[in-house]
Amino acid sequence: MTDIAHALGESRTLWELVDRRAALTPDRPVLLQGDRSLTFGALRDRAERCAAGLYDRGVRPGTVVAWQLPTRIETAVLTFALARLGAVQSPVIPFYRDREVGFALRESKAEFLAVPGVWRGFDHTAMARRLGARGVFEAYDSLPDGDPAVLPPPPASGTDVRWIYWTSGTTSDPKGVLHTDRSLIAGGSCLAHALKPTADDVGSMAFPYAHIAGPDYTVMLLLYGFPAVMFEQFALPEALEEYRRHGVTVAGGSTAFYSMFLAEQRRQPGSPIIPTLRLLAGGGAPKPPEVYHAVVREMGCALTHGYGMTEVPMITMGSPDDTAENLATTEGRPPEGMEIRIAEGGEVRLRGEAVCQGYLDPAQTAAAFDEDGFLVTGDVGHLTPSGHLVLTGRIKDIIIRKGENISAKEIEDLLHEHPAVGDAAVVGLPDPERGERVCAVVEQPPGVPALTLAAVTDFLRAAGLSVHKLPEQLEVVEALPRDETLRKVLKYKLRERYSVTSAPPS
């Protein structure tokens, strides 16, 4: 990290970080979207005017303001306006509907809700009214505006809870995760420190800004003074024109994004789909080693992958100067200040400034931390002698078959090497004789022969997989179920769907 970036990383609050960066490089762009751009100086000035408009509406330090907005320049301005006021923000993914949004509003006790109006054919304003939300206002093309002279001093403390993020609810309601400005700055600093960007880079945000990755990435832009292209709607190949137009050098999102870029590259082998691209980077889901090798080999750029969660936006991150072996098989190293403890059974536990303050529900907070203050993640892994973290799955992804522990990720990584497999997920299903049986669910690329269970098990045997780990059930699907943020595979849906399937014979 450069001396300037390191100094900026010591900012107490997000507003202080914005203000200090604007003073250093006021005319450099920070956000690009279509024909529009916003400089660091304009980000500060527009955010301050928006803060004044919000203040006129009654928003004060500590006021809870929920927002459900797409990835747009206006969204970033609004978030920093709220940071200037010291309000408590509750971002909600724009794809969520009545159940999730209503839950977030009730639990956070939000006094205001910013929505995009009608977006992608859905009327968010009507939903807000239907839910009885308070202080509803639209913030898509225009934002509240006022005279900054009315504003109180900006917040001085960065350790007060000012963010309520929501875990993606699966089989139960989501949890409200409590963050501070400092925890978000620490997470973004980890990302920046690992990727080593320069002021000449051009990044990209192809994920929902309301995801924890939104501030994570924006902090990196503020630390290093380079811009990013924002994608309100991301789809390939349509988005490629914007990547090329702005000369994007750093792209990514998650493993699903890498696979999408790779599929486009395979349509025109030998001719880079984004000529300026030097690095794909992301996290949020396991990365099979074969995906890493394929990206480097076929796209001609580096690939670094990291480990983070809503509770800890950035835990470890691969770095471009890591070895190919570490980049392919690990999640990178933690930054200074992030403590990783491997507990009994291989469970990963975390302590550091980037770790959240807990949850809205005190009982959930008490259950989430051990006696030494480490966050219990539910992930399983180990540290290498060089300090790199290897994740082998989640505790619930450990399949126990006839008393033997089986890592779903180990099987998934091998399946990704099969030429007739586009993507794969392995789950354990209830079985009256075995306890659990191993079920492989795969997507196949177009034009390849249909897979059979025998072909899959033969391939895995040849790859060296132990016999007791071989799948006993194969399901071929057109598309694996994914969430709408980082397109992570929703394994609980696979368990629900295939648990009712009759068990295959022993």
pLDDT, averaged across the chain: 93
Answer yes or no: are the C-beta atoms of 27 and 42 closer than 8 Å.
no
Answer yes or no: are the C-beta atoms of 175 and 166 closer than 8 Å.
yes
The helix (run of H) or strand (run of E) holding residue 241 is: helix 240-246
310-344, pLDDT tens digit by residue?
A: 999 999 999 999 999 999 999 999 998 899 999 98
281-291, pLDDT tens digit by residue?
A: 998 777 889 89
d(CA 324, CA 347): 26
Query: How many helices and strands in the chain, by DSSP H and E?
Result: 16, 26
Name the residue among 413, 369, 371, 367 with its Cα closest to residue 390.
413
Residue 170 pLDDT class (50, 70, 90 cuts): very low
Buried b (16+ CB within 10 A) or exposed e, 53-66: bbbeeebeeebbbb
Span 383-409, average pLDDT: 86
Among the residue ranges 6-10, 30-34, 391-395, 407-411, the one predicted with the least confidence is 391-395
38-96, pLDDT tens digit by residue?
A: 999 999 999 999 999 999 999 999 999 999 999 999 999 999 999 999 999 999 999 88
pLDDT for residue 168: 66
pLDDT for residue 171: 46
CA dist 331 → 87, 462, 492 (Å): 34, 27, 23
Residue 466 pLDDT class (50, 70, 90 cuts): confident
> Which domains are present in the chain?
3-182 (3.40.50.980), 190-338 (3.40.50.980), 402-498 (3.30.300.30)
pLDDT for residue 87: 98
Span 180-207, average pLDDT: 95
Span 297-307, average pLDDT: 96
d(CA 319, CA 430): 40
Query: What is the pTM for the complete model shown?
Result: 0.85
234-260, pLDDT tens digit by residue?
A: 999 999 999 999 999 999 888 889 989
Answer yes or no: are the C-beta atoms of 142 and 75 closer than 8 Å.
no
Q: Which residue is it, tokens 């200037």? A: 84
What are 340's strand-pairing partners?
350
pLDDT for residue 401: 85
**What percent of the chain clears pLDDT 90, i.e. is strictly above it?**
78
Answer yes or no: are the C-beta atoms of 398 and 345 closer than 8 Å.
no
Span 116-128, average pLDDT: 97
